[in-house]
């Protein structure tokens, strides 16, 4: 084996290293006999580097896709985040609706008489006064709670 090595060293000294490599590549069938050397090996190296980078990215993507448990965990995490966001939106919507209803109720209580007692409040539904009956008794005709409160010298909530 050392004799073959020595022959290789002698061949390299007699010519150049690239020529010996090319001869060996032709002898082993890696290069065509009548082919010439590439004009720009640097462009081939760049192309090879690009291909290796693409291969590396595809391999890493393949590893990521083959990790089914990690994908399931990620999908669960995303669904959980979406569910939390939907719950928060629903909670905010309901809170806003509750605040609007409370404001409307407070506004209604400020301008109307809503409740006076168990046997009186049902008659509050009637909004039109019986003008003939009130005039017959010598009472003023008042059309709503605000007019009644003003006639009494009070505010509606009082």
pLDDT digits (tens, 9 = 90+) for 125-156: 666 777 778 778 877 877 777 777 777 777 76
Residue range 6-46, pLDDT digits in tens: 887 888 888 777 788 878 888 887 777 776 655 666 677 77
- Name the burial class of residue 145, with classes exposed (0-12), middle (13-18) and buried (19+) by CB atoms within 10 angstroms of its CB: middle
* 73 shares its domain with 91: yes
**123 pLDDT tier (thresholds 50, 70, 90):** low
Query: What are the backbone dihedrals phi and psi of residue 35, each rounded to the nearest 5 degrees, phi first?
Result: -75, 155
If you average pLDDT over residues 76-89, what whole number do you get? 97
Both 11 and 73 in a single domain?
A: no
Residue 52 sits in the same domain as residue 102: yes
Domain that holds residue 10: 1-37
Give CA–CA dist 78/148, Å, rounded. Answer: 60
Contact 59, 53 (CB under 8 A): no
Model pTM?
A: 0.43
Which pLDDT does position 120 carry in this prediction? 65
Q: How many domains does the chain have?
A: 3
């Amino acid at each position: 084996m050392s004799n073959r090595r020595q022959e290789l060293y002698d061949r390299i000294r007699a010519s150049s290293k690239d020529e010996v490599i090319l001869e060996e590549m032709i002898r082993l069938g890696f290069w065509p006999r009548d082919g010439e050397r590439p004009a720009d090996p640097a462009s081939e190296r760049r192309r090879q580097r690009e291909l290796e980078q693409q291969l590396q990215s595809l391999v890493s993507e393949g590893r990521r896709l083959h990790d089914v448990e990690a994908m399931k965990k990620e999908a669960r995490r995303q669904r959980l985040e979406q569910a939390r966001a939907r719950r928060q939106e629903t909670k905010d919507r309901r809170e806003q609706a509750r605040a609007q209803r409370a404001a409307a109720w407070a506004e209604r209580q400020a301008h109307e008489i809503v409740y006076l007692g168990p046997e009186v409040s049902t008659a509050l539904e009637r909004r039109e006064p019986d003008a003939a009956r009130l005039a017959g008794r010598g009472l003023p005709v008042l059309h709503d709670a605000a007019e009644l409160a003003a006639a009494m010298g009070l505010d509606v909530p009082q």
